[in-house]
Amino acid sequence: MKGAGVFVKFPFKSTAFVHTLYTVAAEVIKRTMLKIGVIASLALLMAFAAGDGTFKATQLKNARVKAAYTEKWKPLQQEMKSKGLSGSFDILLCAFKQEKLLEVWLRNTGSQAYTLLKTYPICATSGDLGPKRREGDGQIPEGFYTIDLFNPNSDYYLSLRISYPNRSDNILSDKKRPGGAIMIHGNCVTIGCIPITDEKIKELYVLAVEAKNAARNFQVHIYPCRLTAENLKQLEKRYSPELMAFWRNLKTVYDYFLSGNSVPFVRVAKDGKYYF
């Protein structure tokens, strides 16, 4: 055979051998790539947990995140310094649906008490007071959560995903379709999320990246309103005993925080109630 290549003639007349060879080779390649992917993912997760700067470096590759840092990080640092906050910090977000407010609390590493840094208006809401219990109900969740995903390419500028459904939600909500993808994001539209405008999400996203990059704690507490005794009396006039029992359960954590600006380690009982 003429040409620049080498021709190898298989000693089998059937193409079955060739097909088998290709199949085996493809499987070997697939398994090898899977192992590489798993190893890479584990290494990335370990880097995040170690707080070695990998997460922030990755986020800063995104133009929106880079712009947010350029615009917001220095003023945020100055404001933090004025309130005695510096270095690595934990974040606590407290959302109050009736008041349409999102509070941003920080605490220095080693401190027990949080300091209020920012209060953002929630610029749009959906649903009613009360927890989210099924997909499509339009409800903003209520309870105690974390942030489990950062999206620098959000349709709503930047977004942070709340860890709904949590363990309590999995017990009390629709077992097949509880819903999900609940975000704190930019813009000013929502169906079950917490929008705070593009300008405010830039600040919050930068703070969130800093906390995540240092492997710090990040909690999100969502309440129907400020759970004062007077507000509970007003709620009793409009809502069911079941909802009132749920809100009184949330109030135990709310009151604990008010007593000293610190949060307990919240657990979930078999019946879905929170306790500590």
Q: Is 94 considered catalytic here?
A: no
Q: Annotated catalytic residue: which of 94, 123, 185, 221?
A: 185
Angle at 116 between CA 274 and CA 267, to 5 degrees: 15
Q: Annotated catalytic residue: which of 19, 123, 188, 193?
A: 193
Check: CB of residue 99 under 8 Å from CB of residue 119.
no
How far is Cα 114 from Cα 90, in angstroms, rounded to an integer? 8
- Residues 6 or more apart in contact with residue 46 via CB below 8 angstroms: none
DSSP 73: I
The structure tokens listed for 49 are 């947990």
Q: Is 221 considered catalytic here?
A: no
- Residues 6 or more apart in contact with residue 180 via CB below 8 angstroms: 135, 164, 165
- Helices 74-82 and 198-213, packing angle to 10 deg: 70
In 3D, which of 47, 100, 104, 48 has the Cα closest to residue 72? Answer: 104
187 by DSSP, 3-state: which?
A: coil
The structure tokens listed for 128 are 């009613």
Beta-bridged to residue 91, according to DSSP, are: 106, 218
Annotated active-site positions, please? 185, 193
